[in-house]
A and B are shown apart, each in its own frame.
Chain A
């Protein structure tokens, strides 16, 4: 059967996205392969460098912009990352200037918050609490 090796997030600018996903969120660069004006650019969890990669994909296709604008307007996260201690993570990221559209909130067995990745996406952070 197939394995989940990579999933993609559309980003406005690949270099700005790499800076946010590594310097701010804390992921590590995995692949950076030039492909014309863009690159095959992925990041990984530094604790699991052979684990699932997040591909930072150029958002240039004309269908992407209205799709992402509609999601953002309604506050819908494009994807979700797990954290061990949500409140500590939100405190750390807020101090780094990250904007949250939803503060830490309990939803049944998970505690979640939603941040703006500055690259055109909202991202949910989720801690299993139940």
Chain B
């Protein structure tokens, strides 16, 4: 699940943009992809990418009032270095 989520370049770009700040709407993520990555997938496609990232635990979404916000969670990435720890120099 984690590796499949990371395997797609658009999903990696979404994660890049979510580093900038927490609590981004779908609209903001789409705007950032267009301007900063020259990526213009449909909003539905971005929503599906966010579903995959959320299933992998890399993104959390929450509803606040009438809006939905998305936030990055890098903690699942620790599984990678736990499994293949960097060697001491």
Q: CA–CA, A14 to B69, complex, Å?
A: 28
Contacting residue for B27 out of A69, A102, A116, CB 8 A: A102
Q: How far is the CA of A75 from the CA of B66 in the complex (A)?
A: 9
Partner of A114, one of B27, B66, B69: B27
Asked whether any CB of chain A lies closer than 8 Å to the CB of B16, the reply is no
Contact A75 B35 (CB under 8 A): no
Whole-angstrom CA separation of A108 from B31 in the bound complex: 10
Q: Mark B residues whose CB is within 8 Å of A.
A: 21, 24-28, 31-32, 34-35, 43, 47, 63, 65-69
A116 to B21 CA separation, bound complex (whole angstroms): 19
User: Which residues of A in the span 42-79 have a Cβ within 8 Å of any Cβ on B?
Assistant: 69, 72-77
Chain A residues lying within 8 Å of B34, measured Cβ to Cβ, are: 107
Report whether B66 and A72 are in contact in the complex, using a CB–CB cutoff of 8 Å: yes
A101 within 8 A of B: yes
Q: Which residues of A contact B32 (CB under 8 A)?
A: 105, 107
With contacts A74-B25, A75-B27, A102-B27 taken as known, whether A69 is within 8 angstroms of B43 at the C-beta atoms is no
Q: Which residues of A contact B25 (CB under 8 A)?
A: 74-76, 101-102, 114
Interface centre among A74, A77, A103 (most CB of B within 10 A): A74
CB nearest neighbor in A for B29: A75
Q: B66 contacts which chain A residues (CB < 8 A)?
A: 69, 72-73, 116
**A and B contact pairs by CB, cutoff 8 A, 7 listed:** A73-B68, A75-B67, A76-B26, A103-B21, A114-B27, A114-B28, A116-B67
Given A69-B66, A75-B68, the answer on whether A107 and B26 have CB atoms closer than 8 Å is no
- Asked if residues B27 and A76 are in contact (CB atoms below 8 Å), the reply is yes
* Chain B nearest CB, measured from A54 CB (Å): 21
Determine if A73 and B27 form an interchain contact, defined as CB atoms under 8 angstroms apart: no
Output the least CB separation between A74 and chain B (Å).
4
